[in-house]
Structure 1
């Protein structure tokens, strides 16, 4: 991992009250662009702890990830036909399509039912110097509770594979991430420790799924399906402290973008049919 902080940190004020050790669950209270802390800046390999998605489809097929609408950090482009032969989603390492590519994702007309190929091109001055090919695999295609899983190589000497799963959620974590957003996705750490605090939503601790797995990232849809601010994303708990490395961060953000875009397409199709 590159120990130097990413470029966005120079624009963010330091909050000395957050200099303490990161607790087991870190609530995603990142509503201001100055909410980052020095400890979190150095823990994250590539992205800030939380970002918003901004877009205007009538003007361009490119949207942005950023701390605010004025402070855009990463560009994301989607192919017009989406399920064609070209990559259906490209994440750039900067706010324009002229910046280097961080990841490309290729889906097909089956969308939610088949594995999706994701490629991280070589980064000569970054974490990996060769291309990395990964997959997002549908673990459950239930319309009520679909899940999507992926694996990445763990960091550190002798580390094995780490397994994660995206699950739909209406939980309290989503409500805390973005007021008024009652629906989204949570990423759970399948190969991590199981907490005894699992169970019903009323009984379990914040940041813990019903099966006791830890929630390490969240994606919250904009409840109004705004045509300018589409979603809010945040890393949580172990996902904030650098344990999983840069490849995992890129994989997590890109897979979250894919799931958000599938939901967005579904919402637009339903609106057009009504």
Structure 2
């Protein structure tokens, strides 16, 4: 048996492209097929009431709460909800096939249904082998633009394991200043996932790679500070699968550290949630395809 404290890479479909993983790039350009961004829907800006779903804790400022679940409407529906509780949906999500570079595989709407609220963010496959995804985001504040912009998340390797990397603006001053920082999702079975509940046994942690995120020497789990990676970086979010593969609650997401405190800003919040949700959606789609082929 393996060492339970050692992080294990999640099962995933890898490209057999002879060139290996693509170099990571991030761009910010207008998406010609995206509608003009009209700002948050009236009355839809919310404050979190807990740091984790169905548990009391500190409040997190911003549109996205500190912890959020996915809730399927029916087992056959391509639309599901995100929220702290099933009976109080915050956002509607429409899922596509996820296998085309033409249309979004996932779209999050700025309210509880897709017909009355505008798109908040979306994920579209940017490479045929699924090693890059374009994430549509509202324009930067004070940019003077009304068009959505694009950021890219890429699959790469770090220390012989798969990681999902992206760069995004984070808040860096009291007057709305921003700077771009690098982040990566790493697979984990650590305490961060177990804290989500006994059913959440495998997931991914979002690591802040900048020097501002250095928290100490790292090391083995028993020796390092809570919320710190083995290389001394800060963990700012985590998501996990429900091990029972419930069709009503299958995905759980939680901010941590500086992200839970609202210090990184709403643009980071959107990117973190969308990339985590898209990774989960692709794993579910791949699992369903494998099950269908076996049948």
Normalised by the length of structure 2, the TM-score is 0.74
Q: Residue in 1 aligned with 2:202?
A: 183
Matched residue SS, 1:72? coil
* Structure 2 unmatched ranges of 5 or more: 1-39
1:61 & 1:84 partners in 2: Cα distance? 18
1:240 & 1:6 partners in 2: Cα distance? 20
Q: 1:240 to 1:61 in 2, by over 3 A?
A: same
Q: 1:79 to 1:153 in 2, by over 3 A?
A: same
Choose the corresponding residue for 1:161, options 180, 183, 186: 180
2:268 is the alignment partner of 1:251: no
2:149 is the alignment partner of 1:140: no
Q: Residue in 1 aligned with 2:190?
A: 171
Shift of 1:252: 0.7
Is the Cα contact below 8 Å between 1:197 and 1:205 reproduced in 2? no
Q: 1:108 to 1:224 in 2, by over 3 A?
A: farther
Query: How does 1:77-156 map onto structure 2 within 5 Å?
Result: 77-80=94-97, 82-98=99-115, 99-107=117-125, 110-113=128-131, 115-122=132-139, 129-140=146-157, 145-155=161-171, 156=173
Q: Residue in 2 aligned with 1:59?
A: 76
**Number of residue-to-residue matches in the alignment:** 250
Deviations, residues 179-224 of structure 1 (Å, cap 9, x unaligned) = 2211001001001332225112232222111111100001011011
Is the Cα contact below 8 Å between 1:116 and 1:137 reproduced in 2? yes
Shift of 1:95: 0.9
Matched residue SS, 2:85? coil
Pairwise CA RMSD: 3.2
Shift of 1:273: 4.2
Shift of 1:58: 3.5
* Structure 1 unmatched ranges of 5 or more: 16-27
Q: 1:86 to 1:245 in 2, by over 3 A?
A: same
Shift of 1:174: 0.3
Q: Residue in 2 aligned with 1:49?
A: 66
Normalised by the length of structure 1, the TM-score is 0.80
Q: 1:173 to 1:197 in 2, by over 3 A?
A: farther
1:68 & 1:202 partners in 2: Cα distance? 33
2:105 & 2:282 partners in 1: Cα distance? 11
Q: 1:229 to 1:152 in 2, by over 3 A?
A: same
Deviations, residues 21-43 of structure 1 (Å, cap 9, x unaligned) = xxxxxxx6x2416x254xx24xx
Whichever structure has more helix as a proportion of its residues is 1
Is the Cα contact below 8 Å between 1:178 and 1:232 reproduced in 2? no
1:57 & 1:108 partners in 2: Cα distance? 29
